[in-house]
């Protein structure tokens, strides 16, 4: 399996605070069957200024540490970029790091509790520049929770979605778990990521969520979400999913739960 969203690089953000924690996260991932992690430190003005060059240097340093400890975990480049103006130009100027450093896909984070400003315009600008946004953990974004059609519009524009493994396993509550399941059935999310920050509450594990994804949408869909399409992100290859559809599950349960 390939983890598409993980804060494993030590000391860069609110993820692994030091090398010891990062190595423990690597061991957990390997034990769970994760063979590759795409390291995605936060890039958020005013909080974490993790620009491209610095992330690549930290990535190479941690690769050397893994090799020295004989941990066969592959580490690939990425970052979680917060919604902000002029993202496409900052990528062109080599300030922001995309998946695999190919300028083809960008993990894009929206604010959790407030309305994302100019989100549709930003998605359009990125798409025109040849960069496909991958929306980080849409199931945990209040703006989308309040009205799923807001998120569906972004997917119809061409964006992809990254679902958090712990959301699907109920860590964030029944409501987000139900929404995650519905997003899978409606083909609104495309890759799975742990969004791991530590070894306890937010560990870098995918297997339980992958099995649940397979129960919901089938083994082929789960394989795409944890291997085929994450590998395409790393390589800068195009991903062409089926368009979103209706949730085939009867609506009564979900509507009662969300009400």
Q: Which two tokens stand for residue 152?
A: 């569906």
Helix (H) or strand (E) holding 80: strand 80-82
Q: Which domain holds residue 167?
A: 2-258
When divided into structural domains, the chain yields a total of: 1
Q: Three-class SS of residue 164?
A: strand
Q: pTM for this one?
A: 0.95
CATH number of residue 20's parent domain: 3.20.20.140
Q: What is the mean pLDDT of the segment spanning 241-256?
A: 73
For β-strands 74-76 and 105-109, DSSP reports them as unpaired
Dump pLDDT digits (tens) for 196-220. Answer: 999 999 999 999 999 999 999 999 9
Contact 38, 99 (CB under 8 A): yes
Dump pLDDT digits (tens) for 82-129. Answer: 999 999 999 999 999 999 999 999 999 999 999 999 999 999 999 999
């Amino acid at each position: 399996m390939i983890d598409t969203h993980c804060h494993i690089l030590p000391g860069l953000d609110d993820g692994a605070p030091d090398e010891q924690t990062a190595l423990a996260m690597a061991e957990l991932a390997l034990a769970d069957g994760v063979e590759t992690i795409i390291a995605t430190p936060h890039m958020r003005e005013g909080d974490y200024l993790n620009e491209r060059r610095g992330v690549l240097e930290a990535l190479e340093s941690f690769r050397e540490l893994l090799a020295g400890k004989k941990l066969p975990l592959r580490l690939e480049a990425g970052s979680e970029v917060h919604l902000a103006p002029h993202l496409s130009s900052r990528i062109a100027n080599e300030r922001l790091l995309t998946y695999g450093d190919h300028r083809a896909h960008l993990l894009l984070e929206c604010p959790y509790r407030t309305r994302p400003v100019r989100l549709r315009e930003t998605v359009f600008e990125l798409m025109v520049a040849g960069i496909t946004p991958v929306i980080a953990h849409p199931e945990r974004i209040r703006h989308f929770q309040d009205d799923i059609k807001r998120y569906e519009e972004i997917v119809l524009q061409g964006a992809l979605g990254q679902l958090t493994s712990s959301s699907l396993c109920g860590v964030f509550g029944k409501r987000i778990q139900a929404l995650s399941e519905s997003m899978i059935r409606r083909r609104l999310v495309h890759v799975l990521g742990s969004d791991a920050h530590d070894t306890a509450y937010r560990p870098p594990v995918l297997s339980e969520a992958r099995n649940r994804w397979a129960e919901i949408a089938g083994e082929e869909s789960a394989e795409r979400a944890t291997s085929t399409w994450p590998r395409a992100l790393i390589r800068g290859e195009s991903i062409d999913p089926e368009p979103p559809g209706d949730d085939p599950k009867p609506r009564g349960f979900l509507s009662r739960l969300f009400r």
